[in-house]
Amino acid sequence: MIVQRVVLNSRPGKNGVPVAENFRLEQSTIADTIQVGQARVRTLYLSVDPYMRCRMNEDTGSDYLLPWQLSEVADGGGIGVVEESKHQNLAKGDFVTSFNWPWQTVAILDGSLLQKLDPQLVNGRLSYFLGAAGITGLTALLGIKEKGHVTGGANQTMVVSGAAGACGSLAGQIGRLEGCSRVVGIAGTDEKCSILVQEMGFDAAINYKKGDVARQLRELCPGGVDVYFDNVGGDISDTVISQMNQNSHIILCGQISQYNKDVPYPPPLPPDVEKIQKERNITRERFLVLNYMDKQEASVLQLCQWIQEGKLKVRETVVEGLENIGAAFQSMMEGGNIGKQIVSVSK
């Protein structure tokens, strides 16, 4: 059977900026028959995420992420429908997902590595299982629960950087649902800031490209910052940390401003900021959602309930066509999207 697939065409280099041309669309073939335990699946949606930038390097800098190989098919979070099954738990027509879904139109996969999905849990929006009801939502929810130390009624203020992104836009809302009394987002355009406040319930949002971020933070968080959901690192994070309270907490989710630089993860703080962190006893521990998979099922059900109740607003940027996944990746890395970046492969 002839299929289309996207392979890694070239590496941008550890300090390079990824572009669409780093990926290549090509034709390939898969077997016409499947073996016992396998399923043939047609790809519906693929997830494009910032962490994938690390997989473009020969050394990902991580012991849990494997690098993509040149001229080999890329992979990541995906959703599809079973067309044929020889696995006892899967039947034709089942919707399934995997964290290592190949970027191709049709694939033959090990049925034991596929997880069945119930579209009713997300009001029929299957792509949500790659975002708000998937690993992105789990990262926001478990990050806040495990590292944020949010306590209802404690009058805590949360700041979220990269707040209009897939994880940040959920984290601010979840922080409020978990008990924060004030949530302030930091984003890169007036449009994003407006959506955060008007649509997603943030109390305020700062456009970091306009004005004095430190001054605006002081005005919007007069009691200081108790919880910081850090998606970006760099100068913005240094500014936020400087205004954090004694015994406050940083949820170290991502450092997207550093992903095109050859630095360790998490990147070290400047000496003056590190001094503040230590003197104020601010926790800043690496957070990896994969370490909390024993809490996955209950957490996904919680996320789905909030979605069904309208308490968790979801934004997606959907790009049509497998051939456009490289451009979608470039756009996401440039910060041009609001919410989750999804590629729709077939209907």
What are the tens digits of pLDDT across the range 231-277?
A: 988 899 999 999 999 999 999 987 654 444 454 567 789 999 999 99
Residue range 65-92: mean pLDDT, rounded? 96
Element (H, E) at 219: helix 213-220
Q: Which residues contact 222 (CB under 8 A, 6 or more apart)?
A: none
Q: Do 126 and 146 sit in the same domain of this protein?
A: no
CATH number of the domain encompassing residue 200: 3.40.50.720
Q: Do 58 and 21 sit in the same domain of this protein?
A: yes
* pLDDT tens-digit series, residues 21-62: 999 999 999 999 999 999 999 999 999 998 899 899 998 877
Report percent pLDDT > 90 for the chain: 82
**Residue 270 structure tokens:** 């400047």
Exposure on the CB side of residue 74, measured as CA atoms within 13 A: 29
* pLDDT tens-digit series, residues 140-156: 999 999 999 999 889 99
Maximum pairwise Cα distance, the chain: 65
Domain range for residue 54? 2-131+315-344
Q: Which residues contact 15 (CB under 8 A, 6 or more apart)?
A: 260, 261, 262
Q: Looking at the domain assignment, is residue 69 inside a domain?
A: yes
pLDDT of residue 286: 80
Q: Looking at the domain assignment, is residue 25 inside a domain?
A: yes
CB 254 within 8 A of CB 277: no
Residue from 126, 49, 57, 98 nearest 333 by CA: 49
> Number of structural domains, the chain?
2
Q: Do 182 and 321 sit in the same domain of this protein?
A: no
Q: Do 45 and 169 sit in the same domain of this protein?
A: no
- Tell me whether strands 95-102 and 115-116 are parallel, antiparallel or unpaired: antiparallel
3-class SS of residue 4: strand
Q: Do 238 and 250 sit in the same domain of this protein?
A: yes
* pLDDT tens-digit series, residues 82-120: 999 999 999 999 999 999 999 999 999 999 999 999 999
Residue 336 has pLDDT above 90, yes or no: no
pLDDT of residue 260: 44
Residue range 296-316: mean pLDDT, rounded? 95
Q: Which residues contact 2 (CB under 8 A, 6 or more apart)?
A: 27, 28, 29
Within a 10 A sphere around the Cβ of 316, how many other Cβ atoms?
A: 19
CATH number of the domain encompassing residue 340: 3.90.180.10
Residue 148 gets which letter from DSSP?
Answer: I
When the pLDDT of each residue in the chain is averaged and rounded to a whole number, the result is 93
Residue 72's alpha-carbon distances to 5, 8, 44, 319, in angstroms, are: 9, 6, 20, 22
Q: Looking at the domain assignment, is residue 276 inside a domain?
A: yes
Q: Looking at the domain assignment, is residue 233 inside a domain?
A: yes
- pTM (predicted TM-score): 0.90
Residue 80, φ and ψ in degrees, nearest 5: -150, -175
**Residue 46 structure tokens:** 């693929």
**Residue 96 structure tokens:** 């399934």
**Residue 193 structure tokens:** 């800031």
